[in-house]
Amino acid sequence: MIEIKNLTKKFGKAVSLNNVSVNFNKNDHIALMGANGAGKTTLIRLMLGYYHPNDGQVLINGLDPINNRIDVLKNISFVPQLPPPISLNLDDLLSYIEKSSDTKREDIFYYAKEMELDLQGNMNKSFFKLSGGMKQKLLIAISLAKKSDIMIFDEPTANLDPKARDNFYRLLKEIRTEKVMLFVTHRLDEVESLVNRQIYMDLGEIVSDEKI
């Protein structure tokens, strides 16, 4: 599903990713770990087609994410580490998601309800005015409703209380079959029950990659 070959990304003279090669296949549920600056976020951003690599290649289902961004992103759900301060109200944000990615609004409502988030009462509110936990729950609900084959979560539980985390893990367990799930995390214990592979990165390289 995801093929990364000899990938290098530099920012000026700083090498953020150094000749990384790795494959992620169906039913790989990966904990991607490493210290700050290890290259985890750079790797994710290259997979999403945000960065142009200096060398090497990323292929998502055989497609380059920069040249085929629409086809590639149809199959990817992404939850960032910190919810961005989107000024659209929820109604407009959901319209954007519905129309751009053919996600059904009722599915977003379904997963929001499962995450114990009241969407209906907040539809006219700007996204950035929601509490940190509510924003994160909504982004999770959207990512699940999108029904993608590849799901990327960058420390998704940072703003969630224990109950919401449990709901999130429960929902992930229900849908994880046949998918690639990539969790960027600093703590393996948080996603231990969900993953079957752990990758450690350091200084832009993969230093260990093992099945668990």
Partner 1 sequence: MKNLLLIAYLDLKESLRAKWFLIYSLVFGGLIALFFIAGITESQVMGFSGLSRLLLMYIQITIVILPIFILITTVRSISGDRDNHTLEYMLSFPISLSQYYWGKIIGRFVTVFLPVFLAMVIAVIFGAMKGAEVPWSLFLLYAGLLFALTSSFLGIAFLVSSIVRSSEMGLGVAFFVWIFLLSFLDIALISLMMQNRINDGVIIAIALINPMEVFRVAAISLFDPELTVMGPVAFYILDMMSQLKFVLFSILYPTVLGLLFAFIGYNIFRKKDLV
Q: Contact between 87 and partner 1 (CB under 8 A)? A: yes
Q: Which CB, 139 or 164, lies closer to partner 1?
A: 139
* Rg (the chain; Cα; Å): 17
Q: Which of 5, 74, 105, 147 is the binder for partner 1 (CB under 8 A)?
A: 74
Q: Which of 6, 21, 57, 88 is the binder for partner 1 (CB under 8 A)?
A: 88
Helix (H) or strand (E) holding 14: strand 14-24
Q: Contact between 86 and partner 1 (CB under 8 A)? A: yes
Q: Contact between 132 and partner 1 (CB under 8 A)? A: no
Give the tokens for residue 140.
Answer: 């999770």
Q: Which of 6, 21, 25, 100 is the binder for partner 1 (CB under 8 A)?
A: 100
184: three-class secondary structure by DSSP = strand
Q: Which CB, 62 or 85, lies closer to partner 1?
A: 85
Residues of this chain, 15-54, that bind partner 1 according to CB under 8 A: 45, 48-52
In angstroms, the CA 133 to CA 39 distance is: 26
Span near partner 1 by CB under 8 A; candidates 17-25, 71-79, 163-171, 190-198:
71-79
Q: Which CB, 9 or 198, lies closer to partner 1?
A: 9
Q: Contact between 105 and partner 1 (CB under 8 A)? A: no
Q: Which CB, 139 or 200, lies closer to partner 1?
A: 139
Q: Contact between 70 and partner 1 (CB under 8 A)? A: yes
Q: Is the distance from CB of 154 to CB of 182 less than 8 angstroms?
A: no
**What is the closest distance, in whole angstroms, from the C-beta atom of residue 103 to partner 1 in the complex?**
9
Q: Contact between 101 and partner 1 (CB under 8 A)? A: yes
Distance of CA 53 to the CA centre of its chain: 20
Cα angle: 192, vertex 161, 133; to 5 degrees: 115
Q: Contact between 69 and partner 1 (CB under 8 A)? A: yes
Cα angle: 101, vertex 184, 145; to 5 degrees: 25
Give the tokens for residue 196.
Answer: 């079957």
Q: Contact between 13 and partner 1 (CB under 8 A)? A: no
Q: Is the distance from CB of 32 to CB of 188 less than 8 angstroms?
A: no
Please provide the distance, in angstroms rounded to a whole number, between the alpha carbons at the two ends of the chain.
Answer: 20
Q: Is the distance from CB of 145 to CB of 107 less than 8 angstroms?
A: yes
Q: Which residues bind partner 1 (CB under 8 A)?
A: 45, 48-52, 69-74, 76, 78, 80, 82-88, 92, 95-97, 99-101, 126, 139
